[in-house]
Structure 1
Amino acid sequence: MKWFRHFLLTATAVVAAAVSAADKPVLRIGYSDWPGWTAWEIADKKGFFAKHGVDVKLEWFEYGPQMDAFAVGRIDAAGISNGDAMVLNASGARNIIIMINDYSNGNDKIVGAPGIGSIRELKGRKVGVEIGCLSHMLLMNALAKNGMTEKDVTLVNMPTHQAAQTLASGDVAAIVAWQPNSGAALELVKGSRELYTSADEPGIIYDTLAVSAESLLKHRAEWSKVVAAWYDVIDYLNDPANRDEAMKILAARVGVTPEKYATYMKGTRFLTAGEAMKIFRKADGFGSVYGSSAITDKFFVDNKIYKENVNIPRCIDPSFTRAYLKGRK
Structure 2
Amino acid sequence: MKSPTYFRSAFAGMLALCGIAQAEPLKIAYSDWPGWIAWEIGVQKGWFKEAGVDVEFQWFDYVPSMDAYVSGKVDAVCMTNGDALVTGATGKPSVGILINDYSNGNDMVVAAPGISSMKDLKGKKVGLEEGFVSHLLFLTALEKSGMKADDVTVVNTPTNETPQVLASKAVSAISAWQPNSGQALKALPGSKPVFTSADAPGIIYDLLYVSAESLEKNKEDWAKVVKVWYKIADYVRDEENLDDALKILSARVKISPEEYEPFFKGTYILTLDEALKRWEKGEGLASVYGSTKSVNAFNLKFKVYEKSQDPEKYLDPSLTKALKK
Shorter-chain TM-score above 0.5? yes
How far apart are 1:17 and its partner, in Å?
A: 12
Inter-partner Cα distance in structure 1 for 2:318 and 2:91? 23
Change (3 A) 1:155 1:17: same
Inter-partner Cα distance in structure 1 for 2:135 and 2:202? 15
| 3-state SS of paired residue (1:102) | strand
Q: How many residue pairs end up in the alignment?
A: 312
How far apart are 1:278 and its partner, in Å?
A: 0.8
1:123-151 deviation per Cα after TM superposition (whole angstroms, max 9, x unaligned): 23222222221111001111122232332
Change (3 A) 1:196 1:17: same
Inter-partner Cα distance in structure 2 for 1:50 and 1:205? 31
Amino acid at match of 1:235: D
Segments of structure 1 that go 5 or more residues without pairing to the other structure are: 1-14
Is residue 62–residue 161 contact of structure 1 (8 Å, CA) maintained in 2? no
Change (3 A) 1:57 1:247: same
- Tell me which residue corresponds to 1:197: 196
- Tell me which residue corresponds to 1:11: none
Matches within 5 A, 1:223-262: 223-262=222-261
How far apart are 1:36 and its partner, in Å?
A: 0.6
Change (3 A) 1:59 1:20: farther
Q: TM-score, normalised by structure 1?
A: 0.89
- Tell me which residue corresponds to 1:90: 89
How far apart are 1:191 and its partner, in Å?
A: 0.5
Is residue 159–residue 180 contact of structure 2 (8 Å, CA) maintained in 1? yes
- When the two chains are superposed, the root-mean-square deviation of aligned CA atoms in Å is 2.0
Is residue 15–residue 21 contact of structure 2 (8 Å, CA) maintained in 1? no
Inter-partner Cα distance in structure 2 for 1:156 and 1:26? 43
| 3-state SS of paired residue (1:80) | strand
The 10-residue stretch of structure 1 (114-123 or 277-286) with the greater mean CA deviation from structure 2: 114-123
Change (3 A) 1:213 1:48: same
Is residue 127–residue 165 contact of structure 2 (8 Å, CA) maintained in 1? yes
Q: Do structure 1's residue 186 and structure 2's residue 185 form an aligned pair? A: yes
Inter-partner Cα distance in structure 1 for 2:19 and 2:233? 30
Is residue 32–residue 61 contact of structure 1 (8 Å, CA) maintained in 2? yes
Inter-partner Cα distance in structure 2 for 1:122 and 1:57? 45
- Tell me which residue corresponds to 1:157: 156
Change (3 A) 1:48 1:307: same
How far apart are 1:211 and its partner, in Å?
A: 0.9
| 3-state SS of paired residue (1:262) | helix
Is residue 34–residue 178 contact of structure 1 (8 Å, CA) maintained in 2? no
Change (3 A) 1:71 1:309: same
- Tell me which residue corresponds to 1:129: 128
Segments of structure 2 that go 5 or more residues without pairing to the other structure are: 1-13
Amino acid at match of 2:52: G
Amino acid at match of 1:95: S
- Tell me which residue corresponds to 1:291: 290
1:34-90 deviation per Cα after TM superposition (whole angstroms, max 9, x unaligned): 111111111211112211122222122221222222222222111111111111122
Matches within 5 A, 1:30-109: 30-109=29-108
Inter-partner Cα distance in structure 1 for 2:100 and 2:18? 34
Inter-partner Cα distance in structure 2 for 1:21 and 1:180? 46
How far apart are 1:198 and its partner, in Å?
A: 0.8
Amino acid at match of 2:77: A
Inter-partner Cα distance in structure 2 for 1:272 and 1:79? 18
The 10-residue stretch of structure 1 (59-68 or 296-305) with the greater mean CA deviation from structure 2: 59-68
How far apart are 1:207 and its partner, in Å?
A: 0.8
